[in-house]
């Protein structure tokens, strides 16, 4: 029998009052050292996620509830997503690269260097409908041997990158971050949200037709309480962000309208299930799940 805890929504704005779901949050698994990077595979009806310090990825089966190994060693994988063909895209902190797992199980390196210098330790990744791959590159995987492999930083700074789907060119699209982390596109893909964990804020950029970013204005500030990590959008454009011991919900205008409180520090989240209305949350030692009345944004593999 799956363990549960009471669902605790905090309504901060009337726009959040109608959001709800099960009155119990399920604890699908516990025992990881630092759970991250949840990704839902609709074709197999399972969720995979990262346990970074243990250098492994785990797999939860939606049909049976069973948890088992997905990949080990994992290269200290952090963030994950799916591309337009349903292939796994992963940020391997320890190997300092972004990879694609092909349908036959082989691994293709998407990016591991910029201008000949090794990346820091790719953290989180999103795919746009044009096939371009966007990722953040803070140094967490090279600071020690806990979340990766201790090494010298070869690139001056921590940036946001774009890998071109045709040429494979890797270029910096934003270079004024301290610790870039989670990122997500708006529903129309004309904006890109990026979290800066060290600065405790979220910024939003305008995405040009040529794949460049403009603007970068402040979208939300966490203050002393909230340090932002991973994020996803729902199908109304609301931004759901991992921060502290909660999942925060922001209206598209930047107003914090509510939060889902959890007992552990939250790292990342994803909407999954047959109707994309099941919220999966990775938090410290555990994987949580809540069936909600919210539907996640249409993923890139489903078309726009």
CA distances from 132 to 123, 162, 246, 280 (A): 17, 7, 30, 25
Query: Which of 180, 167, 72 is CA-nearest to residue 120?
Result: 180
Binding residues: 36, 123, 147, 181, 229
Closest by CA position to 197, among listed 270, 124, 301, 109: 124
224, 229, 251, 253: the catalytic one is 229
How far is 127 from 147, CA to CA, in rounded Å?
24
Whats the size of the chain, residue-wise?
304
| Burial (CB count <10 Å: 0-12, 13-18, 19+), residue 208 | exposed
Annotation marks residue 229 as catalytic: yes
Query: Beta partners for 270?
Result: 280
User: How far, CA to CA in Å, does 114 sit from each of 98, 170, 201, 240?
Assistant: 12, 6, 26, 31
Annotated binding site for substrate: 123, 147
Catalytic annotation, residues: 229
């Amino acid at each position: 029998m799956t363990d549960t805890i009471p669902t605790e929504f905090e309504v901060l704005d009337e726009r959040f009052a109608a959001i709800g779901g099960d009155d119990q949050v399920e604890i699908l698994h516990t025992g990881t050292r630092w759970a991250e990077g949840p990704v839902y595979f609709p074709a197999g009806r399972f969720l995979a996620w990262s346990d970074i310090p243990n250098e492994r990825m785990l797999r939860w089966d939606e049909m049976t509830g069973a948890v088992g190994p997905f990949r080990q060693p994992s290269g200290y994988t952090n963030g994950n997503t799916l591309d337009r063909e349903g292939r796994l895209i992963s940020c391997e902190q320890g190997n300092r690269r972004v990879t694609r797992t092909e349908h036959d199980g082989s691994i293709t390196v998407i990016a591991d260097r910029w201008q000949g210098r090794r990346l820091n330790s790719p953290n989180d990744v999103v795919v746009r409908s044009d096939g371009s791959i966007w990722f953040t590159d803070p140094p967490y995987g090279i600071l020690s041997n806990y979340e990766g492999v201790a090494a010298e930083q070869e690139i001056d700074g921590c940036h946001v990158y774009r890998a071109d789907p045709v040429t494979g060119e890797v270029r910096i699209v934003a270079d004024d971050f301290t610790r870039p982390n989670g990122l997500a596109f708006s529903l129309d893909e004309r904006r890109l949200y990026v979290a800066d964990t060290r600065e405790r804020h979220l910024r939003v950029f305008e995405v040009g037709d040529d794949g460049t970013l403009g603007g970068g204005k402040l979208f939300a500030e966490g203050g002393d309480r909230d340090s932002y990590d991973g994020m996803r959008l729902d199908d109304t454009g609301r931004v759901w962000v991992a921060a502290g011991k909660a999942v925060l919900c922001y209206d598209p205008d930047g107003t914090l309208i509510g939060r889902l409180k959890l007992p552990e520090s939250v790292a990342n989240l994803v909407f999954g299930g047959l109707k994309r209305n099941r919220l999966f949350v990775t938090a410290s030692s555990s994987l949580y799940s809540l069936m909600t009345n919210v539907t996640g944004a249409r993923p890139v593999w489903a078309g726009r």
